[in-house]
Amino acid sequence: LWHADFHEGSRHVVTRDGAWRKAILFATLDDRSRLCCHAQWYLDEEAETFVHGLSQAIQKRGLPRAFMTDNGAAMRAVETQCGLHDLSIVWEPTLPYSPHQNAKSENFWAQVEGRLMPMLEGEREPTLDLLNLSTQAWYELEYNQKLHSEIGTSPIRRYLDDKSVGRDSPDSQALRRAFRGKWK
């Protein structure tokens, strides 16, 4: 089971056209190991963004069996639902007004804001590229490696030591074909 969600970050970024925009983080976490499968900053919370982030996670860590998200528009979009169905990933939406069901994501956001964001305080004009490079380094080299008090080991150690029930990732073309709306 993977959890995925968007988080509106506390920092703005400078876009290529010089505008300041709020950055939004997409992240996917493995339920059992707490491993961050993928995290990436975007400027929107659209279905295309969600599918891109999820495809990156799948290519890094393989296909999950089940997937839990809230009921946001990007998660309910036809292309998202078609992709999950075609890849045989069971979608388990959280109940409305039940943030505790996605508590692992909420805990991750707290660490992003409490640890990662302070590391970037010296950056006067952060860009999306800088935020993404910093975030990937942080979650792969610190978050995934650090001892997690609930599981008694690091997320990466638990992920690697446990028997995998995931499946191999399809190639990029197959993922693109899966995550598109189909007319009936």
pLDDT digits (tens, 9 = 90+) for 110-153: 999 999 999 999 999 999 999 999 999 999 999 999 999 989 99
Helix (H/G/I), strand (E/B), else coil: 67:
strand
Euclidean distance between CA atoms 118 and 173, whole angstroms: 38
Residue 100 has pLDDT above 70, yes or no: no
Tell me the mean pLDDT in the region 66-86.
92
Chain-centre distance for alpha carbon 62: 14
Per-residue confidence band for 78, with pLDDT thresholds at 50, 70 and 90: very high
Give, in order, the Cα–Cα distances in Å from 71 to each of 32, 67, 77, 106: 22, 12, 10, 15
Per-residue confidence band for 103, with pLDDT thresholds at 50, 70 and 90: confident
Euclidean distance between CA atoms 158 and 33, whole angstroms: 5
pLDDT for the residue 71: 86
Residue 60 has pLDDT above 60, yes or no: yes
pLDDT for the residue 165: 86
pLDDT for the residue 105: 80
Euclidean distance between CA atoms 104 and 124, whole angstroms: 31
How buried is 6 (Cβ within 10 angstroms: 0-12 exposed, 13-18 middle, 19+ buried)? buried
Cβ(142)–Cβ(115) below 8 Å = yes
Per-residue confidence band for 27, with pLDDT thresholds at 50, 70 and 90: very high
Greater confidence (86 vs 184) lies with 86
Residue found under tokens 């968007």: 6
Tell me the mean pLDDT in the region 159-163.
92
Per-residue confidence band for 174, with pLDDT thresholds at 50, 70 and 90: very high
Cβ(73)–Cβ(97) below 8 Å = no
pLDDT for the residue 183: 55
70 phi and psi angles, rounded to 5 deg: -80, -170
